[in-house]
Amino acid sequence: MNAGEDLRIQSVSDNDNKIIRPSRDEALAAVETLLRWAGDDPTREGLLGTPDRVVRSYSEFFAGYGVDPNELLERTFEEVEGYDEIVLLRDIRFESHCEHHMAPIIGKAHVAYLPNNRVVGISKLARVIEAYAKRLQIQEKMTAQVANAINDVLQPKGVAVVIEAAHQCMTTRGVHKSGVTMVTSRMLGLFRTNPSTRREFLSLIGNPSSSAS
């Protein structure tokens, strides 16, 4: 979003309903309102540029709403010489925000698939993680979204996604418990039905908590 942009922009929500975004000026006014609600003065020197900085930050934090993850996966390569073993990207760092408190979620994702005659560029897998992370999220939903997108577009023999993350809505408010990591997983195809394939994947990523859901 450009600094001078004042247009109402349409984006697509998770349920494919068109969302009309407020104008930039409306977003700036909303931040000023929150500053006043917090008990401070938006006109004092230290806060004069805060609404603009917050709006620009939000355009980065939530850039995923403008990205179609399926399109990222559509360009594939079939010259794989019959390769049909696990393709794995491990420790993909991401930052997201929880949809309940808009607090940061910071973690890493492990993504694997078993090719079915075609592969996708590895950077595209990382971009799929980013596309879903840069939205308001819950970790369980993000895990399923990533796995489902890879499965739907690539149609591989199997997909495995494990996400490990710390939630600031738990560490900086509420129960105030630091050092807690949430682990979620989604296994599709052979990763779900073949125990040895699943074990190989978990071994490759260091076998995070067996309580993954």
Annotated catalytic residues are 98-101, 139, 167, 169
Length of the chain: 213
Distance in angstroms (rounded) separating the CA atoms of residues 206 and 76: 28
Distance in angstroms (rounded) separating the CA atoms of residues 175 and 130: 28
* Radius of gyration for the chain, computed over Cα atoms and rounded to the nearest angstrom: 20
Beta strands in 4-103 (DSSP E): 10-12, 18-20, 76-77, 87-98
Quote the tokens at residue 23.
């104008």
Q: Is the CB of residue 211 less than 8 Å from the CB of residue 178?
A: no
Is the Cα torsion angle 131, 136, 139, 143 positive or negative in sign? negative
Quote the tokens at residue 101.
């408190």
Amino acid type, 101: H
